[in-house]
Structure 1
Amino acid sequence: MKEFILTANESGQRFDKYLKKLLPNAGSSFLYKMLRKKNITLNGKKASGNEKLKEQDRVCLYFSDETFLKFSQDSEALQKEYEALQKLDDKKLPVVYEDEDILILNKPYNMLSQKAKPEDVSANEYMLGYLIQRGALSFEEFRTFRPSVCNRLDRNTTGLLIAGKSMSGLQEMSEMLRTREVRKYYRCIVSGTIEKPASLKGYLIKDERTNKVRGVAQSNDDSVYIETAYTPVKQGDGWTLLEIHLITGRTHQIRAHLSSIGHPIIGDMKYGDPSINKKYEKQYHVKYQLLHAYRLEFPDGKIVSVDPPHIFTKITEV
């Protein structure tokens, strides 16, 4: 018999979903059969699988060791993954804010928010390593619950990433981002002079082959609505520092929207101006788009911000 006592991080989910995480190699029909026969019980009683789990709930599996190993993840491989995360350098992804349910992180450039390939080490892995190193994510919890980043930034966009530490934090932040209750602000340096605030509205179409998007004025079956507001903060010789309010959050939205009005972000190799990028690379060693997730404003009044990388100051204080 195997017994599991649920933690706060594992609560709030349906029992059958928890079982699928605990026994990922078992089919749904097998799990429901085990529930019907009381080979799997919840708090000592027969369960249907639809129950919402609570902290301190007791799950018992009346399986042999061989059966459990057959249907559970490879414990040795899982242990190796856990130990590898534990060894990651947590200084690569500084924590800006932390409470019981969420983390807000300052992502550097050249780091993925989440894995694109199995071998990638993304911000998500560094965040898991941070929690494991501090005893906030035990190996038993790791089996059935993975904290996760809730929003994404492009690999070479810097700044604030939100992660859910607990199940409730992950669910609440994901919903708040979906409904745009969290207001997201960016800073970027664009080519050209912009003197007045504006709100840009339109539609984006994505080319999956090139992983590029383009703006169009009219909606069609392949397009998504976008809205981007900006306010000039400072102007210089051929550049403007903007504060962006990202009203909708679509792939490459800020980069493509600004490029479409003739003010591409400096350093943007996909949507920018090659000659301008070359100039700033030579003069300031700019190697990535100067776009930074700068500030988050929450419905309860909490504001979290982080300064852009030093290269912003180096250019704008000349």
Structure 2
Amino acid sequence: MQEIKITENQAGQRFDKFLFKYFKEATSGFIYKMLRKKNIVLNGKKSDGKEKLNVGDSIKIFMADDTILKFRGEIKLDIVKPIDLDIVYEDDNILIINKPSGMLSQKAEASDVSVNEYIISYLVSTNKLSEEQLKTFKPGVCNRLDRNTSGLIIAGKSLKGLQTMSKMFKERTMDKYYFALVNGKIENKINIKGYLKKDEKTNKVTIYKKEQKDSQLVETEYEPVLANNRITLLKVKLITGRTHQIRAHLSSVGHPLIGDYKYGNKKINDIYKRQYGIKDQMLHSRLTVFPKFTGDCDNLSGKEFTATLPDDFIKVLSNEFKNSNVVNDFIKEKQIKK
């Protein structure tokens, strides 16, 4: 006989869903048969598997150890070597990090290492999550950034955190602001709308003024933070959130991101590459503002979180806007973080 005590990260899901993950090599028919025959019981009673699990619930499995091992299968936990994450905020339910450019938010290929893997490695190495717990629950990121976009990534450490944050992103109840370095001078706050259509073959989007077949309405708001005759540092608010929205939308109005070879100006990008070593689009998820709310994770109610600017942003801004108090504040912010 084996007994399992339900923890916070396992609570909140249906009993049968938990069993499907626990016995990953078993068929659903086998699991329901074991429930009917009371070989698997919940809190000492027969179950149909539809019950919602609560913290402290007891699951007893009346099977031989070799049978349990057989149906559990060999669960491989490929935990990568820990790295120093730039942690912006952490509590029992969520983790907010400042993702560097070049790191994947989620795996694209089986061999990839992404933010997800680094977060799991961090939690295991700091004894905040055990390898045994990972067999039935995995933390994960709740929002995605392009590989070469830096900034705030929010992950759920617990099931409660994962569900709450995912719901908030889906319903767009929090405000997200990006910093973007773009070509040209912008002097006023502007709200732009258009219709975005994606080419799946090229993974590239196009912005149209009028609605197209299979297009999606996009809305972007931006205002200048610093500007000269060559470039502008923009604070961009995503009203909608579509693939490559900021990059394509700004390019469509004549202000492509510096370093963006997919949607930008190659000649201008090459200049900044030679002068500053810029290789990626200059886009940074700078600020996330939570609304006031109650319920799960309401310790975040009304709070806002900021990600310090990457070194390449600081390098360009320091040279393009010499002796700027705004740039000096960015530098001080980074020094304090260190």
For Structure 1 versus Structure 2, the TM-score category normalised by the shorter chain is over 0.9
Correspondence for 1:313: 314
- TM-score normalised over the length of structure 1: 0.94
Out of 150, 153, 170, the residue aligned to residue 162 of structure 2 is: 170
Structure 1 segment 131-150 matched on structure 2, within 5 A: 131-150=123-142
**Equivalents in 2 of 1:146, 1:115: separation in Å?**
14
- TM-score normalised over the length of structure 2: 0.89
Cα shift at 1:73? 3.3
Cα shift at 1:272? 1.0
**Equivalents in 2 of 1:273, 1:26: separation in Å?**
54
Correspondence for 2:199: 207
Structure 1 segment 242-253 matched on structure 2, within 5 A: 242-253=234-245
Structure 1 segment 43-122 matched on structure 2, within 5 A: 43-75=43-75, 77-78=76-77, 81=78, 84-85=79-80, 87-89=81-83, 91=84, 93-122=85-114
Cα shift at 1:237? 3.7
- Assess if the C-alpha contact under 8 Å between 2:142 and 2:156 holds in 1: yes
- Assess if the C-alpha contact under 8 Å between 2:82 and 2:125 holds in 1: no
Q: What SS does the corresponding residue of 1:33 show, helix, strand or coil?
A: helix
Residues 194-249 of structure 1, C-alpha deviations (whole Å, 9 max, x = no match): 11111111221111111111112333441222111101111124100000001211
**Equivalents in 1 of 2:165, 2:134: separation in Å?**
20
Correspondence for 2:37: 37
Correspondence for 1:4: 4
**Equivalents in 2 of 1:153, 1:136: separation in Å?**
25
**Equivalents in 2 of 1:220, 1:29: separation in Å?**
47
User: RMSD of aligned C-alpha atoms?
Assistant: 1.2
**Equivalents in 1 of 2:190, 2:113: separation in Å?**
38
Q: In the alignment, is residue 264 of structure 1 matched against residue 265 of structure 2?
A: no
Cα shift at 1:29? 1.8
- Assess if the C-alpha contact under 8 Å between 1:96 and 1:104 holds in 2: yes
In structure 1, stretches of 5+ residues that fail to align are none
**Equivalents in 2 of 1:106, 1:166: separation in Å?**
19
Residues 8-66 of structure 1, C-alpha deviations (whole Å, 9 max, x = no match): 11111111111111111212222112111111111111111111111111112222223
Correspondence for 1:285: 277
Q: What SS does the corresponding residue of 1:317 show, helix, strand or coil?
A: helix
Q: What SS does the corresponding residue of 2:12 show, helix, strand or coil?
A: coil
In structure 2, stretches of 5+ residues that fail to align are 292-300, 320-338
Q: What SS does the corresponding residue of 1:234 show, helix, strand or coil?
A: strand
**Equivalents in 2 of 1:248, 1:16: separation in Å?**
36
Q: How has the CA–CA distance of structure 1 residues 129 and 259 changed in structure 2, closer, same or farther, with 3 Å as cutoff?
A: same
- Assess if the C-alpha contact under 8 Å between 2:206 and 2:248 holds in 1: yes
Correspondence for 1:19: 19
Equivalenced residues, count: 310
Out of 140, 151, 156, the residue aligned to residue 159 of structure 1 is: 151
Q: What SS does the corresponding residue of 1:159 show, helix, strand or coil?
A: strand
- Assess if the C-alpha contact under 8 Å between 2:225 and 2:233 holds in 1: yes
- Assess if the C-alpha contact under 8 Å between 1:8 and 1:166 holds in 2: yes
Q: What SS does the corresponding residue of 2:165 show, helix, strand or coil?
A: helix
- Assess if the C-alpha contact under 8 Å between 1:149 and 1:164 holds in 2: yes
**Equivalents in 1 of 2:273, 2:102: separation in Å?**
16
**Equivalents in 1 of 2:167, 2:43: separation in Å?**
30
**Equivalents in 1 of 2:72, 2:208: separation in Å?**
49
Cα shift at 1:100? 1.2
**Equivalents in 2 of 1:174, 1:220: separation in Å?**
29
Aligned amino acid, residue 44 of structure 2: G
Aligned amino acid, residue 148 of structure 1: G
Out of 206, 218, 223, the residue aligned to residue 231 of structure 1 is: 223
Q: In the alignment, is residue 222 of structure 1 matched against residue 223 of structure 2?
A: no
